[in-house]
Amino acid sequence: MKTEVILTHNIVGLGAESDQVKVAAGYARNFLFPQRLAIPLTQANKRQIEALRQRRAEREAHEFNTMTELSKALSKLICVIKAKAGEDGKMFGSVTAGMIADELKHQFDISLDKKKIHLEHPIRTLGEYEVELNLHAEVKGALKVRVESITPVAAPTPDAAPVAPPAEAKVEEDKKLRMEKRGPARRESRDEKAHKPERTQKTETEKEKKPRINKGEKPAKPARMSKAEKGETKAEKEA
């Protein structure tokens, strides 16, 4: 069974002040009337419609001005949202309108109904986005949202030298130390060689005294003495 009532307050999805609407009798009797959100439609109550319309106009003007100022303030802000993401920038979840509303409250103490935040699709990658806001029937807005990783990966710079593994770095260090130790010794040996007197060159006469032996030629062996010659030599020695 339906009954007709006059709304005294704005009720989302039902109407605003001074609107005449039909609702279930039980809904009106158990909720609207006890909460003073509506009054029964009677000749006596119709006199209040003009006052309700005036109050409605004032409320809507106030909401329009408030949302206009809020739109200007939000356009200057950047709402930063931290999320878990992989190395490729893809998140392990998504950013929703409810998360943005919570961060606005946490970071800037701005209370905004998540229904006023319009996202065509949930945000699933890191980066900066411009989110549309439906603040009022006649007021639109935009909010910059930056999604950052909780543990960002530092990208290596092109000019940066590659970092050697610990084992290779130790080997390079030991090699450098050995080279530094050898350096002075080698320099000393070179200096000693520089200060040594030069060997005197052999004269041509000395060279001529020693017979030259070509490589591959063996020196001639002395001829063997016969037994008779050996006997004569022995006799000469005894005499």
- Alpha-carbon gap, residue 127 to 38, rounded angstroms: 48
CATH, domain 2-47, list 3.40.5.10, 3.40.50.970, 3.60.15.10, 3.30.70.260: 3.40.5.10
Could you tell me how far CA 69 lies from the centroid of its own chain?
A: 36
Taking 50 as the pLDDT cut, the residues of the chain under it are 160, 164, 200-205, 207-208
| Those residues with Cβ within 8 angstroms of residue 63's Cβ, 6 or more apart along the chain or in another chain | 136
For residue 147, the model assigns a pLDDT of: 92
Q: Where are the domains of the chain?
A: 2-47, 71-149
Beta bridge mates, 23: 3
Beta bridge mates, 149: 83
For residue 176, the model assigns a pLDDT of: 74
- Alpha-carbon gap, residue 51 to 48, rounded angstroms: 5
What the block records as the tokens of 59 is: 């409320």
Three-state secondary-structure class, residue 205: helix
Residues 61-74 have pLDDT tens digits of: 999 999 999 999 99
Domain 71-149 listed as CATH 3.10.430.100: yes
In what helix (H) or strand (E) does residue 171 lie, and over which residues does it extend? Answer: helix 166-195
| Those residues with Cβ within 8 angstroms of residue 27's Cβ, 6 or more apart along the chain or in another chain | none
In what helix (H) or strand (E) does residue 60 lie, and over which residues does it extend? Answer: helix 49-74
Radius of gyration of the chain (CA): 54
For residue 120, the model assigns a pLDDT of: 87
Give the neighbor-by-neighbor strand order of the sheet with 20-24.
Answer: 20-24, 2-7, 38-40
Residues 192-201 have pLDDT tens digits of: 555 555 554 4
For residues 137 and 64, the answer to whether their CB atoms sit within 8 Å is no
